[in-house]
Amino acid sequence: MSEPTIAGRRPTVVVLPEGTYYWCACGKSRNQPYCDGSHKGSGFAPIPFTLTEENRVALCMCKHSCNKPFCDGTHRTLA
């Protein structure tokens, strides 16, 4: 599998209501940070995550986090 496209160099911080979401892992979605199906044929797949209550989250935009879909600060180390 190839490397994901870096969609941004900072996380997207949002307050989301409870529910299931699909985070874009390939970096090609036009609806970042959420999947729009642009990964088809790339070997990537969206990462589902569920919130059981409204929560403020920092979603990874560099696509290299070790805690996907959440930001872990890896964007600070990318060239």
What is the rounded CA–CA span in Å between residue 42 and residue 8? Answer: 19
Domain locations in the chain?
A: 12-77
pLDDT at 29: 98
pLDDT at 1: 61
Rounded to an integer, the average pLDDT of 36-49 is: 96
**Quick one: pLDDT band at residue 64, thresholds 50, 70, 90?**
very high
N-to-C CA span, the chain: 20
Backbone angles phi, psi at 66, to 5 degrees: -85, 0
